[in-house]
Structures are given as structure tokens and as C-alpha cells.
């Protein structure tokens, strides 16, 4: 069975923490995604001349798959990724592409409302991304789950469909113990992730961020860019509002041995924006979120790249401006 040939990133954690429900849940999710992908492999290969091609990933990643800074590729784990500036902005469980349409799939077993809200937000963002990348195609998203509770939040969204798919009759513990990753040649019904880049428009993750941040720099009220955010349909996750002298925020953030603190607004949930504080270290090499303790942004973080791109242009704000911003955020988030 091919499910034993996949590389599972959560298998080791599950084996070490067999009594941990979260470890089991994460591993079951990986198995479920692999099982559904195998279902699509069999389905597409049952046709002599399939209308839609399945994008190869996982154990079917072709040997000539190559890393790209801008575009689709399969990473070292076999995940189908869209990169911008060398950083992942989206990962897809499966993609089917025809001459006129593209369907991507989101697999999940969760029934927790908070997890479903996050998944819904992410699926809508990916839908918007695909519309940007493939403007001449009909885009669809199919959310796959093993129960009606999981699927219900997606059933009324335009462009979305849902699909019931049972968890495979397999013991996760047996898979974790006996999985032996093994590559398979892509089938005739597949095409590579890299090949998609010949048909897409390029998406630059810094373009919208920079453009709308620049508009916000000329204002102080975030209501001035609300229409831009809504038009982006989730593709704008953050904006830079400006920077404040660190000493002026000492009562809130403690003593920071830097000149400025940068204020970003998170719009991961566009209805409930959140204010975040960041600063560059004294050597300007690293960026930290001003939490307790400070959290260093890795080089794989899109937020790090975004902040660095507008560092010089970010205007200096006063504390009075910031207090007004807090009020604006509170009003934005209010019903």
C-alpha cells in the first residue's frame, strides 16, 4: 500500500507522544491527506485521456523538480508550494488542472470551530491567489472531510464545493512504525508543479503590502485603506503603520535598546485586526517581535521580508497617533 511509502513529518512526534491527542491528530491529518491524494491518483489514471491533469507531489515528485524563488515547486517534504521571493506563501494538498479550469483541494479532519475558521480564511486566501495566478481559468476549491460538521462552513461559499471522504482503514501506529519513504514515477495523468509556472501570472507577495502600506503612511487612520484590504480578498495579511521611538513605548513594552519600534497591523482575520510590535537589533541583522520573551523572526518568515522592504519609508509617529490607532482598531473590530 502506497500510504506506507510517504514521508510523514509528524510520525516521529506521534511515536514519542502516543498518549498526546494533538500528536495523533496531526499524524492522522497527514495520513488522510496522503490517502485522498492516492484516491486522486487512481481516479485520474483510470482515464485513457484525462481532461484534467493531477499536479504531482509527495512520492510522485519528479526528479527534475527544481526550487524556484517565484512560482510552484515541490519542497523537500514533497509538498506543493507557491513561492514568492523564495518564501512559501501557500501550500496545496492537491491541484487538478484542465485547459480552462483549476481545482485545488483542502483536506481536514478537524471539527473545532476555531480551526475551521482558520481553515476557511486560508482557503479563501488561496482561492484569491489562484485567481491572480490563473486569470483566464475557472477556479474552484473542494474542501474534503470525513464528517458533515467539518464541511458545513464551506457549503455556501461561492466557488467552493465539499466532499465526504472516509479516513482509510489503517492503523496510524502501524504506519508510523513501518513507513519507508519510496519515490514513484509520476503517472501519465500527472504534470509537474514546475510546469504550472509556464501558465501563470507572477504574484509578488511584497507588491500589495508595499502599495497599501505606502497609502497608510500618508494617513494615520486605518479606515483609509479598508477598501484596499477587502479588495485583496485575504492576500494582504499585514500592513506597516509606521514607527515610534522605543522610549515612548517603554511603559508598554519595557526597555528596548533600539531607537525605533515598528508598528504592524495583522489582518489575518480582516474583521479583527491586531497590532503587533517589531524592532531591528542593534546590528540591523535580525528582526524581533516585541513579545515577552522577544521572538526572533526567521529568514523563512514573509513578515520579516515585508518589514525589511519598507523600513526606510516607514514614517515616525507620535504616541498620540498610536493611541488614535488603537481606537481605530477597536472600532474596526466592533460589530
CA distances for 207 relative to 133, 136, 240, angstroms = 14, 21, 13
Q: Give the pTM.
A: 0.91
Starting at the edge strand that comes first in sequence, how are the strands of the sheet with 190-191 ordered?
160-164, 138-145, 101-107, 94-97, 53-55, 190-191
Q: What is the pLDDT of residues 90-133, one digit of tens each?
A: 999 999 999 999 999 999 999 999 999 999 999 999 999 999 99
Under the banding of pLDDT at 50, 70 and 90, the label for residue 283 is: confident
* pLDDT score, position 233: 85
Q: Does 335 score more than 60 pLDDT?
A: no
Q: What is the pLDDT of residues 175-225, one digit of tens each?
A: 999 999 999 999 999 999 999 999 999 999 999 899 999 999 998 888 888
Under the banding of pLDDT at 50, 70 and 90, the label for residue 333 is: low
* pLDDT score, position 116: 95
CB 185 within 8 A of CB 56: no
- Mean pLDDT over 322-335 rounds to 85
CB 200 within 8 A of CB 133: yes
* pLDDT score, position 119: 95
CA neighbor of 255 nearest in space, from 240, 242, 245? 245
Percent of the chain clearing pLDDT 70 (strictly above): 99
Burial class of residue 331 in the structure, from the number of CB atoms within 10 Å of its CB (0-12 exposed, 13-18 middle, 19+ buried): exposed
CA neighbor of 242 nearest in space, from 267, 263, 219? 263
Amino acid at each position: 500500500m502506497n500510504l506506507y511509502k510517504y514521508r510523514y513529518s509528524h510520525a516521529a512526534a506521534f511515536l514519542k507522544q502516543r498518549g498526546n491527542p494533538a500528536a495523533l491528530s496531526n499524524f492522522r491529518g497527514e495520513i488522510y491527506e496522503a490517502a485522498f491524494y492516492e484516491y486522486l491518483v487512481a481516479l485520474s489514471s483510470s482515464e485513457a485521456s484525462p481532461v484534467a491533469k493531477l499536479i504531482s507531489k509527495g512520492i510522485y515528485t519528479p526528479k527534475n523538480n527544481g526550487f524556484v524563488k517565484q512560482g510552484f515547486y515541490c519542497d523537500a517534504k514533497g509538498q506543493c508550494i507557491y513561492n514568492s521571493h523564495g518564501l512559501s506563501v501557500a501550500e496545496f494538498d492537491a491541484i487538478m488542472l484542465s485547459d480552462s479550469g483549476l481545482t485545488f483541494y483542502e483536506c481536514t479532519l478537524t471539527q473545532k470551530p476555531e480551526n475551521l475558521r482558520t481553515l476557511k480564511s486560508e482557503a479563501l486566501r488561496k482561492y484569491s491567489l489562484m485567481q491572480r495566478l490563473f486569470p483566464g481559468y475557472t477556479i474552484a476549491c473542494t474542501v474534503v472531510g470525513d464528517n458533515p460538521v467539518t464541511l458545513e462552513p464551506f457549503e455556501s461559499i461561492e466557488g467552493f464545493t465539499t466532499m465526504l471522504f472516509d479516513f482509510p482503514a489503517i492503523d496510524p501506529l502501524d504506519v508510523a512504525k513501518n513507513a519507508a519513504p519510496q519515490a514513484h514515477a509520476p503517472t501519465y495523468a500527472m504534470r509537474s508543479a514546475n510546469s504550472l509556472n509556464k501558465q501563470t501570472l507572477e504574484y509578488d507577495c511584497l507588491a500589495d503590502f508595499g502599495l497599501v502600506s505606502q497609502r497608510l503612511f500618508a494617513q494615520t487612520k486605518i479606515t483609509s485603506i479598508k477598501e484596499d484590504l477587502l479588495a485583496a480578498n485575504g492576500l494582504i495579511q499585514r500592513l506597516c503603520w509606521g514607527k515610534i521611538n522605543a522610549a515612548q513605548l517603554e511603559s508598554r513594552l519595557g526597555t528596548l535598546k533600539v531607537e525605533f519600534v515598528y508598528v504592524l497591523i495583522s489582518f489575518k482575520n480582516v474583521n479583527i485586526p491586531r497590532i503587533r510590535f517589531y524592532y531591528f537589533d542593534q546590528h540591523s541583522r535580525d528582526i524581533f517581535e516585541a513579545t515577552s520573551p522577544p521572538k526572533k523572526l526567521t529568514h523563512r518568515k514573509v513578515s520579516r521580508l515585508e518589514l525589511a522592504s519598507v523600513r526606510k519609508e516607514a514614517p515616525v509617529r507620535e504616541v498620540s497617533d498610536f493611541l488614535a490607532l488603537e481606537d481605530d482598531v477597536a472600532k474596526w473590530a466592533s460589530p
